Amino acid sequence: MSVLVFVETDGGEVKKSSLEALYYGAKVAAQLHTTATALVIGPAATDLTTLGQYGTAEVLHASDARLAQANPMAYAGVVAAAAENAEVVVIAKSSLGDALAARAAGKLKAGLVSNVTELPDTSAGFRVKSSIYTGKAFAVTEMKAGKKILTVKKNAVSPELTDASASVKPFAPALPDADFAAKVLSTEKASGELSLSDADIIVSGGRGMKGPDHWQPLLDLAQALHAATGCSKPVSDLDWRPHHEHIGQTGIKVSPNLYIACGISGAIQHLAGVNGSKVIVVINKDPEAPFFKAADYGIVGDVFEILPRLTQAAKEQLGS
């Protein structure tokens, strides 16, 4: 019995979160004294042999033309077919990953745990730790099902690469027409911007930025740090920033290495979207802002005075 890892692509390029999931799956395979196999569905612009650097010796590539667009129903069928001899299926947590994991669990009659935050404890059974209640608590679940599906949060592991190369094999399972009852006709996405879900650094702004015409200092810092930009819900509701930048419980949930909040008070809805961040820095002129309680580092002051100084320091340190 092996470990299968679904590797998600975006525009043919492998997503960073899936590379972390692949390394995670390889580590689980090592714990179980077995091997990890990667599964890539749809077009791939990446040289898939390089996935061997993350611990897999074999890559299955399902390149059926009908799979060019991400379709959770069809993708779940492919995952289920590939997982026939797998004990554990690992999937990076994402909108697509969550949708196909649930469907694959039904097809495989597998146990499913989402939001997994670290490697399982296999010393006495198979126990996994996961984030629950929008990150306010953790749960440890003992999985007893013969097949197990884990959706893994970003930053659950830090990959250490090798020089290994993987063999790539075509994979063409029989897919019923019913799996294509719903068709993805087109996909629209923001271009020329870093993905919030995959960004290592995010600079985000709230109503303390005072309006859409005052956003440049924040954008300058993001550019200097090679960071993605985000915003709070009130900002997107006011159309100061695009709605796809909305971070929070009702927006995008992020887990960067560094989250810098500029002029955001820290309402519970916003905190629910960022509490997976490794380091949180808060800049706010109100010393009583709730966000400071969740921050690793806090700066009390005017964002329009502090941001240019941070930008200059970043340029000096990074040479940007």
Tens of pLDDT, residue by residue over 145-168, are: 999 999 999 888 889 999 999 999
Tell me what pLDDT residue 215 has: 96
Tell me what pLDDT residue 11 has: 84
pTM: 0.84
The pLDDT confidence band at residue 51, using thresholds 50, 70 and 90, is very high
Residue range of the domain that includes 208: 201-318
Tell me what pLDDT residue 198 has: 82
> Do 24 and 156 reside in the same domain of the chain?
yes
> Do 209 and 306 reside in the same domain of the chain?
yes
Tell me what pLDDT residue 19 has: 95
> Do 210 and 176 reside in the same domain of the chain?
no
> Do 123 and 271 reside in the same domain of the chain?
no
> Do 129 and 257 reside in the same domain of the chain?
no
> Do 37 and 163 reside in the same domain of the chain?
yes
> Residue 131: is its pLDDT beyond 80?
yes
> Do 109 and 29 reside in the same domain of the chain?
yes
Last residue of one domain, picked from the residues 180, 213, 235: 180
> Residue 193: is its pLDDT beyond 70?
no
Which residues sit in the known binding site? 207, 263-270, 284
Tell me what pLDDT residue 166 has: 96
pLDDT tens per residue, range 270-293: 999 998 899 999 999 999 999 999
Taking residue 268's Cβ as centre, other Cβ atoms within 10 Å add up to 12
Label residue 134 exposed, middle or buried (CB < 10 Å: 0-12, 13-18, 19+).
middle
Residue 92 lies inside a defined structural domain of this protein: yes
Residue 192 lies inside a defined structural domain of this protein: no
> Do 142 and 218 reside in the same domain of the chain?
no
Residue 208 lies inside a defined structural domain of this protein: yes
> Do 39 and 110 reside in the same domain of the chain?
yes
> Do 160 and 44 reside in the same domain of the chain?
yes
Tell me what pLDDT residue 156 has: 87
Residue 76 lies inside a defined structural domain of this protein: yes
Q: 176: closest CA among 64, 98, 100, 39?
A: 64
**H-only helix segments in the chain:** 16-31, 72-82, 95-108, 216-225, 233-237, 268-274, 303-318
Residue 189 lies inside a defined structural domain of this protein: no
> Do 239 and 282 reside in the same domain of the chain?
yes
What average pLDDT score do residues 296-319 get? 94
Residue 79 lies inside a defined structural domain of this protein: yes
Cα(286)–Cα(241) distance, rounded to whole angstroms? 23
Tell me what pLDDT residue 76 has: 96
User: To the nearest whole percent, how much of the chain has pLDDT over 70?
Assistant: 98
> Residue 37: is its pLDDT beyond 70?
yes
> Residue 190: is its pLDDT beyond 70?
no
> Do 151 and 269 reside in the same domain of the chain?
no
Total count of domains within the chain: 2
Residue 190 lies inside a defined structural domain of this protein: no
Query: Could you tell me the CATH number of the domain that includes residue 104?
Result: 3.40.50.620
Which residues sit in the known binding site for FAD? 207, 263-270, 284
Mean pLDDT over all residues of the chain?
93
Cα(197)–Cα(251) distance, rounded to whole angstroms? 11
Query: Could you tell me the CATH number of the domain that includes residue 314?
Result: 3.40.50.1220
Cα(196)–Cα(191) distance, rounded to whole angstroms? 12
Residue 194 lies inside a defined structural domain of this protein: no
First to last CA, the chain: 48
